């Protein structure tokens, strides 16, 4: 039987989320104090030693982003906390924002100190109304705390950063960092090809660092107890814990914190999640949110680390583990996923703009019993083109569940093919 390891979630429920003193009594601000006693470059060094990687999906090394921004001379520099959390099956950021907001704020202040950021913007998913209201109030309390000399001014030797809280407006693509930057500038929220990277030319053309909420929440831990202590859990390449949001066909859905790589998918589902509703092994699981490739029951012994999940054919993504029951048909699973992601393309690049529509169309046709054998090949071809030729992570990843379903469950697709090509009417032929 495995158990959770609470590092990021240990204070949740133990203090009033607006009460800075309560947070401090539970060990809060130790990381910020330690950080301010060092030079910014040494703070970046500590985070590099800890091997902290982004938890927003891409897994980029945090310290590398920080040093790019720190090296920029232009001001103001921006730090954006990405709390848009639009990925299906992912609710961990909400837990941190509402349950231990001061830890997120402390992480942001340390990041701002290390990178030289002057303005911190927390961009909160529109549906997270409670979190937004809480953070509006928190922003004022943070600036009050920062007036305590030992918490900023005396130590940092420059003005405290300004904390702004912004509410997202229900658009999935606005969580992608380039679209997020456009959104905040009141431009059409579309992604863009890189370079230039945000570190060089981000919000309003200024140096910008964008981080996921969970990434930021790790920062105070690293500074408070040092990189060595931080590395005592997790794997060599991927230290620390992760928050796994467990949902779908599962007895005890929820957010579970585990050391990275210590647990298999089966242990997470059975020991913590209590197994599937009917007790049978699941048909399929998405281990890293709604855009991660499906794994079948044969992969349940995969360890929950980026390297292991990649080797199994999927990815760790956002840590959103979605379980599909044994009675599910793979085509209906991908139909559900395409129903969400298919409407979220920003339209900037052709493969994704057209691919989302075409893939949805083909799957609908198969489900309606109007599909032909060639549709299966078409679905694969459109998906592969989209992954290879799209500009941003959206087009590069939303076809992955479909492609994996085609590989793992070909019978589900084939059994829906009803119309042999030669019996199609000229009308049907034309509508293709």
Partner 1 sequence: MNPEQAAAYRQFFSSLPSLVTAEDLFGILGQLQDELGCIPRAAIRDLAGRAGVSETRLFGAVTSYPDFLLAED
Interface residues with ligand FMN (CB under 6 A)? 54-58, 60, 82, 84-87, 173, 175-177, 210-212, 215, 392-394
Using CB under 8 A as the binding rule, whether residue 75 contacts partner 1 is answered as no
Handedness of CA 292, 294, 297, 299 (dihedral sign): negative
How many CB atoms are located within 10 Å of the residue 103 CB?
28
CB 326 within 8 A of CB 282: yes
Q: Please tell me whether residue 74 binds partner 1 under the rule CB under 8 A.
A: no
Among 27, 45, 59, 126, binds partner 1 (CB under 8 A): 126
Binding partner of residue 84 among ligand SF4, partner 1, ligand FMN, none, CB cut-off 5 to 8 Å per kind = ligand FMN
* 255 Ramachandran zone, left/alpha/beta (phi>0; psi -120 to 50): beta
Q: Which residue has the tokens 């230290």?
A: 239
Stretch that binds partner 1, among 46-54, 167-175, 261-269, 420-428 (CB under 8 A): 167-175
Shortest Cβ 97–partner 1 spacing (Å): 18
Q: Taking Cα atoms as reference points, which of 402, 273, 285 lies closest to residue 340?
A: 402
Judged by beta carbon distances under 5 to 8 A according to partner kind, the member of ligand FMN, ligand SF4, partner 1, none in contact with residue 325 is none
Run of H or E including 295: strand 295-296
Number of residues that bind partner 1 (CB under 8 A): 16
Residue closer to ligand SF4 by CB (options 279, 343) is: 343
- What's the token pair of residue 146? 């920062």
The answer to whether the peptide bond before residue 377 is cis (omega within 30 degrees of 0) is: no
Prior bond to 119 cis, omega within 30?
A: no
Q: Closest CB to partner 1 among 189 and 207?
A: 189
Partner in contact with 249, chosen from ligand FMN, ligand SF4, partner 1, none, beta carbon below 5 to 8 Å by kind? none
The alpha carbon of 129 is separated from its chain's Cα centroid by a whole number of angstroms, namely 19
Q: How far is the CB of 339 from ligand SF4 (least distance, A)?
A: 16
Q: Is 167 in the site for partner 1 (CB under 8 A)?
A: yes
Among 35, 43, 151, 184, binds partner 1 (CB under 8 A): 184
Closest approach, Cβ 360 to ligand SF4, in A, equals 14
Binding site residues, ligand SF4, CB under 6 A? 173, 190-191, 345-349, 352-353, 390-392, 394-395
Please, what is the minimum distance in Å from the beta carbon of residue 119 to ligand FMN? Answer: 17
Residue 23, SS3 per DSSP:
helix
Report DSSP state, residue 55. Answer: S
Which residue in the set 185, 311, 368, 373 belongs to the binding site for partner 1 (CB under 8 A)? 185
183 binds, among ligand SF4, partner 1, ligand FMN, none (CB under 5 to 8 A by kind): partner 1
Say if CB 240 and CB 217 are below 8 A apart: no
Query: What is the enclosing helix (H) or strand (E) of 320?
Result: strand 320-324
Out of ligand SF4, partner 1, ligand FMN, none, what residue 188 binds, judged by CB under 5 to 8 A for its kind, is: partner 1
Within 145-288, strands assigned E span: 162-167, 208-212, 241-248, 254-259, 284-286
Helices (H) and strands (E) in the chain, counts: 19, 9
- Asked if 205 interacts with partner 1 (CB under 8 A), we say no
Comparing CB distances to ligand SF4, the nearer of 218 and 391 is 391
At 194, phi and psi to the nearest 5? Answer: -115, 150
Angle at 65 between CA 48 and CA 143, to 5 degrees: 95
Angle of helix 101-115 versus helix 92-99 axis, rounded to 10? 100
Residue 183 found at the interface with partner 1 (CB under 8 A): yes
Read off φ and ψ for residue 50, nearest 5 degrees. -70, -20
Token representation of residue 334: 């991908």
Q: Decide if 386 contacts 395 (C-beta within 8 A).
A: yes
In sequence order, which ranges of 147-282 are alpha helices (DSSP H)? Answer: 153-156, 177-184, 213-230, 265-267
* Binding-site partner at residue 86 among partner 1, ligand SF4, ligand FMN, none, CB < 5 to 8 Å by type: ligand FMN
Choose the contact partner of 186 out of partner 1, ligand FMN, ligand SF4, none; CB within 5 to 8 A by kind.
Answer: partner 1
**Residue 141 binds which one of partner 1, ligand SF4, ligand FMN, none, with CB within 5 to 8 A depending on kind?**
none
Residue 11 vs 167, nearer CB to partner 1: 167
Does residue 166 bind partner 1 (CB under 8 A)? yes
Pick what 198 binds: partner 1, ligand FMN, ligand SF4, none; C-beta below 5 to 8 Å, kind-dependent: none
C-beta of 108 vs 246, nearer to ligand FMN: 108
Which residues of the chain form contacts with partner 1 (CB under 8 A)?
126, 164, 166-167, 169-171, 174, 183-189, 204
């Amino acid at each position: 039987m495995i158990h959770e390891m609470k590092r990021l979630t240990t204070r949740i429920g133990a203090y009033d989320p607006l009460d800075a003193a309560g947070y401090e009594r539970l060990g809060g601000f130790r990381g910020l104090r330690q950080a301010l006693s060092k030079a910014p470059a040494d703070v970046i060094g500590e985070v590099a030693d800890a091997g902290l990687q982004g938890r927003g999906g891409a897994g980029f090394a945090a310290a590398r982003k920080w040093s790019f921004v720190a090296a920029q001379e232009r001001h103001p520099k921006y730090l954006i906390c990405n709390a848009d959390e639009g990925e299906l099956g992912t609710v961990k950021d909400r837990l941190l924002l509402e349950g231990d907001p001061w830890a997120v704020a402390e992480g942001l202040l340390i990041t701002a100190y290390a990178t030289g950021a002057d303005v911190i913007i927390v961009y909160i998913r529109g549906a997270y109304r409670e979190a937004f209201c809480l953070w509006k109030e928190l922003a004022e309390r943070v600036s009050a705390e920062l007036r305590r000399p030992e918490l900023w001014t005396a130590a940092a030797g420059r003005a405290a950063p300004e904390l702004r809280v912004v509410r997202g407006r229900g658009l999935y693509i606005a969580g992608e960092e380039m679209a997020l930057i456009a959104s905040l500038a009141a431009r059409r929220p579309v992604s863009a090809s890189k370079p230039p990277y945000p570190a060089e030319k981000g919000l309003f053309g200024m140096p910008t660092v964008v981080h996921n909420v969970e990434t930021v929440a790790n920062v105070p831990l690293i500074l408070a107890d040092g990189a060595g202590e931080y590395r005592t859990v997790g794997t060599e390449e991927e230290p620390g814990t992760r928050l796994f949001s467990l949902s779908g066909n599962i007895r005890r859905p929820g957010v579970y914190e585990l050391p990275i790589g210590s647990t298999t998918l089966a242990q997470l589902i059975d020991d913590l999640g209590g197994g599937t509703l009917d007790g049978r092994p699941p048909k399929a699981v998405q281990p890293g949110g709604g855009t991660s490739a499906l794994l079948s029951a044969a992969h349940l012994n995969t360890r929950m680390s980026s390297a292991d999940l990649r080797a199994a054919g999927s990815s760790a993504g956002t840590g959103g583990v979605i379980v599909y029951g044994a009675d599910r048909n793979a085509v209906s699973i991908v139909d559900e996923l395409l129903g969400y992601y298919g409407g979220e393309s920003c339209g900037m690049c052709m493969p994704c703009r057209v691919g989302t529509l075409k893939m949805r169309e083909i799957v609908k046709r198969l489900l309606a019993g109007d599909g032909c054998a060639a549709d299966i090949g078409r679905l694969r071809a459109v998906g592969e083109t989209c992954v290879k030729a799209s500009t941003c992570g959206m087009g590069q990843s939303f076809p992955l569940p479909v492609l994996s379903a085609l590989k793992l469950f070909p019978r589900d697709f084939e059994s829906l093919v009803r119309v042999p090509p030669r019996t199609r009417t000229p009308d049907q032929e034309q509508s293709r």
